[in-house]
Structure 1
Amino acid sequence: MESPLPRPPRPIGRKAAKAKRGGTLNNECVQLLEKIAKNTSLRIERDLKRDEADMAREEAFVIQQQQTPEKDMDDREMKIMAMDTSHMSPETKAYWKHRQRDVMRRKLFHDDGPSNTDWLNDENH
């Protein structure tokens, strides 16, 4: 005979309980792996941006290093050209005049080294 009162639900068996717990663990593992993958991709993007910034900074440094010797050379040449030789001994005066001629030779002929033009090396100039 059937009872008019509803029966309470039957408890879950051991196999069903284990299967239910296992499914939850798999779901948590999937979520954890997705979170790790997302963090890894964010880290890779951040590292790429940092590498791009480092490369740009390095290129700017190289350009600056290439310009610095030219600026230093110009500063030295200006000091050589501005040298007052009126109070110097004849040997020192000859040395500085020779250096000034070398600077003029480089500036006139856009040459980085000593020139073999004789007309600038005359002692009469």
Structure 2
Amino acid sequence: MDSLMSQDSPIQKEPRPIGRKATKVKRESNSSSNTSKFWEEIARQSAMRIEIDMKTQEDKRAIQVEYAKEREYVRKENIEKKDWETMTMDTSHMSPETKQFWKLERRDVIRRRLFRDDGPSKTDWLND
């Protein structure tokens, strides 16, 4: 039952202050909310980091593949250049042993060019 004084009083009642238990409960609920937000942010950043790392690895692999192709191209060019020099070597002023060496080198170049990775040849015409 309300007293007459409370109904007639011109002074407004202030709200009752929050008690210690209520404050503690409110603080703990905010803390758990903040903690969950914190963990969600960590998970999101971890996922982004993993994605960035994967893209970086893919880029590195692509660069390595391109580098390997370039090395193979340069290696083949060097072989081509060496073969050309071997085939155009002038042996007229060389000793018989040196001429024999360059003749064998030319034979190797011809074999390599004619029988590229085809396995052993059954023709023996290059040995004559």
Q: Normalised by the size of structure 2, how large is the TM-score?
A: 0.78
Q: Judging changes above 3 Å, is the alpha-carbon distance between structure 1 residues 72 and 51 closer, same or farther for their aligned structure 2 residues?
A: same
Percent of aligned positions that are identical: 46
Deviates more, 1:59-68 or 1:74-83: 59-68
Instruction: State yes or no: 1:52 paired with 2:62.
Output: no
Q: Match of 1:6, SS?
A: coil
Say if 2:48 is the partner of 1:42.
yes
Equivalent pair of 1:106/1:114 in contact (CA under 8 Å): no
CA 1:86–1:19 in structure 2 vs 1: closer, same or farther (change >3 Å)?
Answer: same
Q: Which of 71, 78, 81 does residue 72 from structure 1 map onto?
A: 78
Deviations 1:6-47 (A, max 9, x none): 012211111011111111111211211111111011101101
TM-score of the two chains, using structure 1 as the length reference: 0.80
- Report which of the two structures shows the higher radius of gyration computed on alpha carbons: 2
Residues 22 and 110 of structure 1: CA distance in aligned 2, closer, same or farther (over 3 Å): closer
- Report which structure shows greater RCO (CA 8 Å, sep ≥6): 2
The residue type paired with residue 87 of structure 1 is H
Aligned with 1:104 (options 87, 105, 110): 110
Q: For 1:75 and 1:112, locate their aligned partners in 2 and report how far apart those are by CA, in whole Å.
A: 23
Please tell me the root mean square deviation across aligned C-alpha atoms, in Å. 2.4
Structure 1 residue aligned with 2:26: 20
Deviates more, 1:83-92 or 1:111-120: 111-120
Q: Conserved in 2, the CA contact under 8 Å of 1:105 and 1:111?
A: no
Gaps of 5+ in 1: none
**Aligned with 2:38 (options 18, 32, 35):** 32
Q: Which residue of 1 aligns with 2:97?
A: 91
- Consecutive unaligned residues of structure 2, counting only runs of 5 or more, are none
